[in-house]
């Protein structure tokens, strides 16, 4: 979906990483802007708005979370975080502050591009109300609430559909436990993560070839769930 002309802004103080990112994004048709500090990044985002931002958390002049919060006060541009920590609380905090996704250093450029393109797709889909979402063998027609697996319609309960719908509108991106609980349940039920785990297990039984080794609806430990846009070969548990 990275049509030629998409502009990515890299906010990262390490020149070596910026060079690595620039090369990867340019090969995939992006135009690349660079900023080596938070201040420079916010200035560029304001005066030369990009389609996608890659934001390093550890910047010399400001923490990435603050950069993100400032950006989100006026912009919905997709933001992917570069993080050195695999700390789950921090990931959740970033997603709640409006990050679209994160990758943990060291990362592969393919992973980062996949996350970036998923965030762009989501951003453009919101704008165009695209009514069919495809994720591997799954196809979800939003208007008719029809779900097909390998071209065969499958029946989901209302809550199963709600869960799939939320994940599908973020296809390729992580969605937090809190976000899922809040959107599927009401009242004090929304604090019960066990409801969510049970619902995920039921949905997996309908959409996964092997529900015990999910390849479509995967767990992001301590953070939430992710619906892959295509079948993953690795097991994520
Ligand atoms: Ca850094």
Question: Tens digit of pLDDT for each residue in 127-159?
Answer: 555 688 889 999 999 888 999 999 999 999 999
CATH 1.10.10.10 fits 132-227, yes or no: yes
- CA 140–ligand 1 middle distance (angstroms): 39
- CA 75–ligand 1 middle distance (angstroms): 23
- CA 176–ligand 1 middle distance (angstroms): 25
Residue 133's beta-bridge partner residues? 140
What's the half-sphere exposure (Cβ side, CA atoms, 13 Å) at 201? 7
Nearest to 66 by CA among 38, 102, 90: 38
Chain centre to alpha carbon of residue 234: 18
Q: Are 67 and 55 in contact (CB under 8 A)?
A: yes
Q: Are 160 and 216 in contact (CB under 8 A)?
A: no
- CA 220–ligand 1 middle distance (angstroms): 24
Give the integer Cα–Cα distance in Å for 36 and 10. Answer: 8
Low-confidence ranges of the chain (pLDDT < 70): 1-4, 126-130, 231-237
| Residue extents of the structural domains in the chain | 7-127, 132-227
- CA 64–ligand 1 middle distance (angstroms): 9
Residues within 5 Å of ion ligand 1, judged at the Cβ atom: 13, 56, 58
- CA 5–ligand 1 middle distance (angstroms): 27
Has this prediction a pTM greater than 0.85?
no
CA dihedral sign, ordered 72, 63, 11, 46? positive
Q: Are 219 and 236 in contact (CB under 8 A)?
A: yes
Give the integer Cα–Cα distance in Å for 230 and 232. Answer: 6
pLDDT value, residue 179:
92
pLDDT value, residue 190:
75
Give the integer Cα–Cα distance in Å for 63 and 66. Answer: 5
pLDDT value, residue 225:
97
CA dihedral sign, ordered 217, 190, 85, 70? positive
Q: Which H or E run includes 227?
A: strand 224-227
Long-range residue pairs from 70-75, CB within 8 A, at least 24 positions apart, any chain: 70/42, 71/42, 71/45, 71/98, 72/97, 72/98, 75/45, 75/49
Tell me the fold of 7-127. Answer: Rossmann fold (3.40.50)
Give the integer Cα–Cα distance in Å for 209 and 46. Answer: 46
């Amino acid at each position: 979906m990275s049509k030629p002309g998409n502009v990515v802004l890299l906010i990262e103080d390490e020149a070596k990483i910026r060079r690595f990112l620039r090369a990867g994004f340019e090969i995939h048709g992006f135009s690349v802007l660079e900023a080596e500090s938070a201040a420079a990044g916010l200035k560029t985002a304001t005066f030369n708005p990009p389609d996608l931002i890659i934001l390093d958390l550890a910047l010399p002049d400001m923490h990435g979370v603050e950069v993100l919060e400032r950006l989100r006060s006026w912009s919905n541009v997709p933001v992917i975080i570069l993080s050195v920590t695999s700390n789950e609380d921090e990931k959740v905090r970033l997603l709640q502050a409006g990050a679209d996704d994160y990758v943990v250093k060291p990362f592969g450029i393919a992973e980062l591009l996949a996350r970036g393109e998923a965030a762009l797709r989501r951003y453009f889909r919101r704008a165009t109300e695209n009514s069919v979402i495809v994720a591997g063998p799954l196809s979800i027609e939003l208007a008719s609430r029809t779900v097909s697996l390998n071209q065969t319609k499958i029946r989901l309960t209302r809550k199963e559909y709600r869960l799939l719908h939320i994940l599908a509108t973020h296809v390729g991106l992580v969605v937090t436990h809190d976000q899922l609980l809040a959107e599927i349940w009401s009242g004090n039920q929304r604090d019960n993560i066990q409801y969510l785990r049970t619902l995920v297990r039921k949905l997996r039984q309908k959409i996964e070839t092997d529900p015990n080794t999910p390849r479509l609806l995967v767990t992001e430990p301590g953070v939430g769930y992710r619906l892959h846009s295509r079948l993953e070969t690795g097991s994520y548990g």
